[in-house]
Amino acid sequence: MPRKKNQQADAAEPLVPVVETPEGIGHTLPEGPVIRPKGVLGQGKGKADQEGKNWGDPYKALVTTASFEMGENRRFKQRVFLFKEKPSEEVLAALKDSGFTYRANEKAWTIQATPDSRKLADELAREFAGQALSMSR
Protein backbone atom coordinates (compact mmCIF):
# COMPACT_ATOMS: atom_id res chain seq x y z
CA MET A 1 0.00 0.00 0.00
CA PRO A 2 1.49 3.39 -0.98
CA ARG A 3 2.40 5.86 1.70
CA LYS A 4 0.38 9.01 2.14
CA LYS A 5 1.99 12.25 1.03
CA ASN A 6 2.91 14.70 3.70
CA GLN A 7 0.37 17.48 3.54
CA GLN A 8 2.88 20.03 4.89
CA ALA A 9 5.41 19.33 2.12
CA ASP A 10 2.81 20.17 -0.53
CA ALA A 11 2.04 23.47 1.18
CA ALA A 12 5.72 24.54 1.23
CA GLU A 13 7.02 27.09 -1.27
CA PRO A 14 8.32 25.66 -4.53
CA LEU A 15 12.10 25.59 -4.90
CA VAL A 16 13.54 28.43 -6.96
CA PRO A 17 16.56 27.62 -9.13
CA VAL A 18 19.78 29.36 -8.10
CA VAL A 19 22.36 30.56 -10.57
CA GLU A 20 25.98 30.44 -9.49
CA THR A 21 27.93 33.23 -11.12
CA PRO A 22 31.37 34.74 -10.57
CA GLU A 23 29.70 37.60 -8.70
CA GLY A 24 28.28 35.20 -6.12
CA ILE A 25 25.41 32.91 -5.32
CA GLY A 26 21.83 33.95 -4.85
CA HIS A 27 20.61 35.21 -8.19
CA THR A 28 17.28 33.57 -8.93
CA LEU A 29 15.63 32.72 -12.18
CA PRO A 30 11.88 32.44 -12.65
CA GLU A 31 12.14 28.97 -14.18
CA GLY A 32 14.72 26.49 -15.36
CA PRO A 33 17.53 24.40 -14.02
CA VAL A 34 20.55 25.45 -11.99
CA ILE A 35 23.11 27.06 -14.29
CA ARG A 36 26.77 26.70 -13.40
CA PRO A 37 29.36 28.57 -15.46
CA LYS A 38 32.40 26.54 -16.46
CA GLY A 39 35.28 26.53 -14.01
CA VAL A 40 33.41 28.39 -11.25
CA LEU A 41 32.73 27.39 -7.67
CA GLY A 42 34.47 24.07 -7.32
CA GLN A 43 33.83 22.67 -10.75
CA GLY A 44 36.90 20.91 -12.10
CA LYS A 45 38.52 22.07 -15.26
CA GLY A 46 37.17 19.66 -17.80
CA LYS A 47 38.07 19.07 -21.40
CA ALA A 48 35.71 21.83 -22.52
CA ASP A 49 37.60 24.39 -20.42
CA GLN A 50 40.93 23.46 -22.01
CA GLU A 51 39.83 23.46 -25.65
CA GLY A 52 40.28 27.19 -26.12
CA LYS A 53 43.79 27.29 -24.63
CA ASN A 54 46.90 27.22 -26.76
CA TRP A 55 49.51 25.32 -24.76
CA GLY A 56 53.07 25.43 -26.00
CA ASP A 57 54.99 22.53 -27.47
CA PRO A 58 56.21 20.22 -24.68
CA TYR A 59 59.54 19.66 -26.51
CA LYS A 60 62.19 22.36 -26.47
CA ALA A 61 65.50 22.06 -28.33
CA LEU A 62 68.41 23.22 -26.17
CA VAL A 63 71.47 22.38 -28.32
CA THR A 64 71.37 22.04 -32.10
CA THR A 65 74.35 21.10 -34.27
CA ALA A 66 74.76 19.72 -37.77
CA SER A 67 74.80 16.12 -36.50
CA PHE A 68 72.49 16.05 -33.46
CA GLU A 69 69.97 17.90 -31.33
CA MET A 70 69.64 17.77 -27.55
CA GLY A 71 66.43 18.97 -25.93
CA GLU A 72 63.97 18.40 -23.14
CA ASN A 73 60.48 16.97 -23.32
CA ARG A 74 58.63 18.70 -20.49
CA ARG A 75 55.56 16.49 -20.84
CA PHE A 76 57.48 13.32 -20.00
CA LYS A 77 60.27 15.11 -18.07
CA GLN A 78 63.04 13.65 -20.19
CA ARG A 79 66.27 14.84 -21.76
CA VAL A 80 66.39 13.76 -25.40
CA PHE A 81 69.20 13.28 -27.93
CA LEU A 82 68.15 13.15 -31.60
CA PHE A 83 70.78 12.23 -34.18
CA LYS A 84 70.49 12.94 -37.92
CA GLU A 85 72.54 9.82 -38.73
CA LYS A 86 73.56 6.80 -36.67
CA PRO A 87 76.09 8.03 -34.10
CA SER A 88 79.59 6.56 -33.79
CA GLU A 89 80.33 3.66 -31.44
CA GLU A 90 82.01 6.08 -28.99
CA VAL A 91 78.88 8.23 -28.78
CA LEU A 92 76.62 5.17 -28.38
CA ALA A 93 78.86 3.81 -25.62
CA ALA A 94 78.81 7.17 -23.80
CA LEU A 95 75.00 7.33 -23.98
CA LYS A 96 74.58 3.75 -22.76
CA ASP A 97 77.10 4.20 -19.92
CA SER A 98 75.29 7.37 -18.83
CA GLY A 99 71.95 5.57 -18.54
CA PHE A 100 70.24 6.78 -21.71
CA THR A 101 67.64 4.51 -23.29
CA TYR A 102 67.03 4.24 -27.02
CA ARG A 103 63.39 4.80 -28.05
CA ALA A 104 63.00 3.20 -31.47
CA ASN A 105 59.59 4.78 -32.17
CA GLU A 106 60.95 8.30 -31.66
CA LYS A 107 64.47 7.44 -32.89
CA ALA A 108 65.80 9.21 -29.82
CA TRP A 109 67.97 8.56 -26.80
CA THR A 110 66.19 9.60 -23.57
CA ILE A 111 66.83 9.79 -19.84
CA GLN A 112 64.59 10.95 -16.99
CA ALA A 113 65.24 14.66 -16.36
CA THR A 114 66.69 15.23 -12.90
CA PRO A 115 69.21 17.89 -11.88
CA ASP A 116 72.04 15.35 -12.18
CA SER A 117 70.89 13.94 -15.52
CA ARG A 118 70.44 17.45 -16.91
CA LYS A 119 74.01 18.31 -15.99
CA LEU A 120 75.21 15.01 -17.49
CA ALA A 121 73.26 15.60 -20.73
CA ASP A 122 74.71 19.12 -21.03
CA GLU A 123 78.26 17.74 -20.61
CA LEU A 124 77.59 15.03 -23.20
CA ALA A 125 76.16 17.59 -25.62
CA ARG A 126 79.33 19.70 -25.28
CA GLU A 127 81.46 16.60 -25.78
CA PHE A 128 79.46 15.45 -28.82
CA ALA A 129 79.52 18.95 -30.31
CA GLY A 130 83.31 19.03 -29.91
CA GLN A 131 83.61 15.64 -31.60
CA ALA A 132 81.32 16.74 -34.42
CA LEU A 133 83.38 19.89 -34.97
CA SER A 134 86.68 18.00 -34.95
CA MET A 135 85.29 15.39 -37.37
CA SER A 136 84.02 17.98 -39.83
CA ARG A 137 87.37 19.77 -40.19
Q: What is the pLDDT of residues 34-56, one digit of tens each?
A: 544 554 444 445 454 456 677 88
Question: Whole-model pTM?
Answer: 0.57
**Does residue 22 register a pLDDT over 60?**
no
Q: Is the dihedral of CA 91, 97, 99, 105 positive or negative?
A: positive
Confidence of residue 105 (pLDDT cuts 50, 70, 90): very high
Sheet containing 59-64: give its strands across. 59-64, 68-73, 78-83, 108-112, 101-103
pLDDT higher at 13 or 81: 81
